[in-house]
A and B are shown apart, each in its own frame.
Chain A
């Protein structure tokens, strides 16, 4: 595998990237004096720190045979993450029941085979359980049904 694909190199690059972004976004924050450090002081310091350590990790990764990046199956991660997004979009617009059902159906895609009947029943059951615990039991104020 190419050197630059190794986990350490990518990780190091990411950290350094975060550092650069920090320094860029925070370029306007006043640094202040040593006696009265301003809002920009610690972020700038951390930004520099991240750049340094990120470069260090990346360089070490290039020199040695670092760990290979573990296979991340997006087929698994994507439905999970998408389901959370679905929930976030629907909860305010359609209420807990709709958001919960849709979220669970989407998340189920992460573990094929899909088995529609089992999934549908489970989603229904879990949603009802959730409503029972959180709305009736804990009396949390949140939209349950579509307005």
Chain B
């Protein structure tokens, strides 16, 4: 493992990769601070431009955007009670209270320290765990892969919030949309309606930007952008008491986040919610929570960083994206001709270990840069949203258009923006659709191959042990939703 880490750092510390890591981290923090635009839309927007970059630099930058956004989101959550990122919602609860009590500096510092610690641990966790997981996954046959994807999709839905049955329907719709285009095996044009531009399928950039960029802007405008009062930052340093109280919470959050991040549907959001719930449950005096308990900042902030990092594991080792951001990273890898899967570890060790090392470097950059720059980030918040969103829309349009200079793609983005917006009004989440969309073609191909090898025997999916296990787990997860206890637990967790 040491050799690999050395290789990783050699790759990550080249001037070019350092520069792109910094760019990604800064952009990530920026969009984490700004409301109405999140990492999914940003990554989708920058994805086509990374075509001109070497693959390692591109992936490092895009990764930086994701975990950079976690840092940015906590800044606004603490100072302005506005979560710039969905995973920062819980940080608002106690973080902003601390700010109101004049302890904004301490809250920010603890958030940064916790995040950095979690980032370090997360990096080690990935380095230790991934190669083993990848070598295990190399034994997977197509039937196992198909079942793994089913499990990934089911788990993503069960662990996320919102109506499970609607999310499953969104997955189905996403799978279907992913199949639009020319079927590779038979040459049959499917659902293209004679439109040439569709014969290569629907591009995922318009889909991602429509569902997550445009729909989010419309949603933010609906919510109305009020300017909350901004808390002043006095002293920047936490007291010794603060550190003593926060440290165990940081540890707990890191461990929790590291594990939850690996699960499909996991990642930063789930980890931060779970950490807050945990801290509140085990605190000696739970009434402190919501009034400025520092564990309420330390735990979730560490957890969301750990979760963000470890959510790369399924992507880099199995080639299965556990959430919407990772789904886009799959797209990024495909653009650069890298097939995501367990073979990445052995075939492109520079990419694999370079990314891991650069995540640590990125965390270091973020903790060093962010605290001094807090003032600037906060000033950006004072820009009224009505000036901001037209710019975001224009960037989205240009970004989508630049993929193949096709105004048709822009129209597609419009359609998916409409779809995403309308479905959200109906209570259907867009993320499952994106996951299904990215996995659709892969799922069909594995299904096809599995049946070909098994000569048409459908039982192959339950005869192979790995496949059977995964299918049983999927069914089990779906059944737990029906249990009233679990249902209540999910509702309570997300009510706050």
- The segment from B172-180, B291-299, B325-333, B470-478 found at the interface with A is B172-180
Complex contacts, A134 vs chain B, CB 8 Å: 398, 402
> Once bound together, how far apart are the Cα atoms of A70 and B183, in whole Å?
38
Indicate which residue in A42, A47, A87, A89 contacts B447 across the interface (CB closer than 8 Å): A42
In the assembled complex, A145 has its CB within 8 A of some CB on chain B: no
In the assembled complex, B455 has its CB within 8 A of some CB on chain A: yes
> Once bound together, how far apart are the Cα atoms of A119 and B139, in whole Å?
59
Indicate which residue in B169, B179, B385, B397 contacts A50 across the interface (CB closer than 8 Å): B169
Indicate which residue in A35, A67, A130 contacts B427 across the interface (CB closer than 8 Å): A67
> Once bound together, how far apart are the Cα atoms of A81 and B217, in whole Å?
11
Shortest Cβ distance from residue A3 to the other chain B in the assembled complex, whole angstroms: 15
In the assembled complex, B286 has its CB within 8 A of some CB on chain A: no
B window 360-413: CB within 8 A of A: 385-387, 389-391, 393-398, 401-402, 405, 407-408, 410-411, 413
Complex contacts, B448 vs chain A, CB 8 Å: 36-37
Contact indicator B165/A60 (Cβ below 8 Å) = yes
Contact indicator B393/A104 (Cβ below 8 Å) = yes
Contact indicator A129/B391 (Cβ below 8 Å) = yes
Complex contacts, A35 vs chain B, CB 8 Å: 451-452, 455-456
> Once bound together, how far apart are the Cα atoms of A67 and B486, in whole Å?
20
Contact indicator B427/A39 (Cβ below 8 Å) = no
B window 152-170: CB within 8 A of A: 165-166, 168-169
Given contacts A11-B427, A57-B169, contact A84 B458 (CB under 8 A): no
Contact indicator B168/A34 (Cβ below 8 Å) = no
Contact indicator B425/A7 (Cβ below 8 Å) = yes
A window 10-40: CB within 8 A of B: 10-11, 14-15, 18, 22, 25-26, 29-30, 33-40
Shortest Cβ distance from residue A136 to the other chain B in the assembled complex, whole angstroms: 13
Contact indicator B176/A46 (Cβ below 8 Å) = yes
Complex contacts, A98 vs chain B, CB 8 Å: none
Contact indicator A50/B172 (Cβ below 8 Å) = yes
Given contacts A11-B427, A35-B456, A42-B444, contact A88 B411 (CB under 8 A): yes
- The segment from B71-79, B105-113, B309-317, B414-422 found at the interface with A is B414-422
Chain B: how many interface residues by the 8 Å CB criterion?
Answer: 63
In the assembled complex, B426 has its CB within 8 A of some CB on chain A: yes
In the assembled complex, B185 has its CB within 8 A of some CB on chain A: yes
Shortest Cβ distance from residue B157 to the other chain A in the assembled complex, whole angstroms: 12
> Once bound together, how far apart are the Cα atoms of A88 and B214, in whole Å?
15
In the assembled complex, B49 has its CB within 8 A of some CB on chain A: yes
In the assembled complex, A140 has its CB within 8 A of some CB on chain B: yes
Contact indicator A34/B418 (Cβ below 8 Å) = no
Chain A: how many interface residues by the 8 Å CB criterion?
Answer: 70
Contact indicator A80/B426 (Cβ below 8 Å) = no
Complex contacts, B165 vs chain A, CB 8 Å: 53, 56-57, 60
> Once bound together, how far apart are the Cα atoms of A38 and B397, in whole Å?
37
Contact indicator A47/B176 (Cβ below 8 Å) = yes
Indicate which residue in A69, A88, A118 contacts B426 across the interface (CB closer than 8 Å): A69
In the assembled complex, B57 has its CB within 8 A of some CB on chain A: no
Complex contacts, B52 vs chain A, CB 8 Å: 138
Contact indicator A126/B427 (Cβ below 8 Å) = no
Looking across the interface, which residue of chain B has its beta carbon closest to that of A54? B169
Contact indicator B451/A37 (Cβ below 8 Å) = yes
In the assembled complex, A62 has its CB within 8 A of some CB on chain B: no
> Once bound together, how far apart are the Cα atoms of A99 and B413, in whole Å?
16
Complex contacts, B393 vs chain A, CB 8 Å: 80, 83-84, 103-104, 107
Complex contacts, B391 vs chain A, CB 8 Å: 104, 126, 129-130
B window 444-484: CB within 8 A of A: 444, 447-448, 451-452, 455-458
Complex contacts, B395 vs chain A, CB 8 Å: 130
- The segment from B7-15, B126-134, B186-194, B351-359 found at the interface with A is B186-194
> Once bound together, how far apart are the Cα atoms of A50 and B174, in whole Å?
11
In the assembled complex, B222 has its CB within 8 A of some CB on chain A: yes
Given contacts A18-B176, A35-B452, A46-B176, contact A100 B421 (CB under 8 A): no
> Once bound together, how far apart are the Cα atoms of A29 and B414, in whole Å?
29
Indicate which residue in B191, B222, B417, B455 contacts A84 across the interface (CB closer than 8 Å): B417
In the assembled complex, B237 has its CB within 8 A of some CB on chain A: no
Complex contacts, B188 vs chain A, CB 8 Å: 29-30, 38-40
Complex contacts, B125 vs chain A, CB 8 Å: none
Indicate which residue in A18, A36, A122 contacts B390 across the interface (CB closer than 8 Å): A122
Given contacts A22-B176, A46-B175, A70-B425, contact A142 B405 (CB under 8 A): yes
Shortest Cβ distance from residue A48 to the other chain B in the assembled complex, whole angstroms: 10
Complex contacts, A85 vs chain B, CB 8 Å: 411, 414
Contact indicator A76/B410 (Cβ below 8 Å) = no
Complex contacts, B218 vs chain A, CB 8 Å: 76-77, 80, 110
In the assembled complex, A116 has its CB within 8 A of some CB on chain B: no
> Once bound together, how far apart are the Cα atoms of A130 and B390, in whole Å?
12
> Once bound together, how far apart are the Cα atoms of A113 and B190, in whole Å?
46
Shortest Cβ distance from residue A56 to the other chain B in the assembled complex, whole angstroms: 7
Q: Rank and list the top 3 A-B pairs by shortest CB-CB distance, nearest first.
A: A35-B456, A34-B456, A39-B188
Residues of A within 8 A of B (CB): 7-8, 10-11, 14-15, 18, 22, 25-26, 29-30, 33-40, 42-43, 46-47, 49-50, 53-54, 56-57, 60, 67, 69-73, 76-77, 80-81, 83-85, 87-89, 91-92, 96, 99-100, 103-104, 107-108, 110-111, 118, 122-123, 126-127, 129-130, 134, 138, 140-142
List 7 additional A-B contacts (Cβ < 8 Å) besides A80-B417, A140-B398.
A39-B190, A42-B179, A50-B176, A69-B425, A80-B393, A88-B411, A134-B398
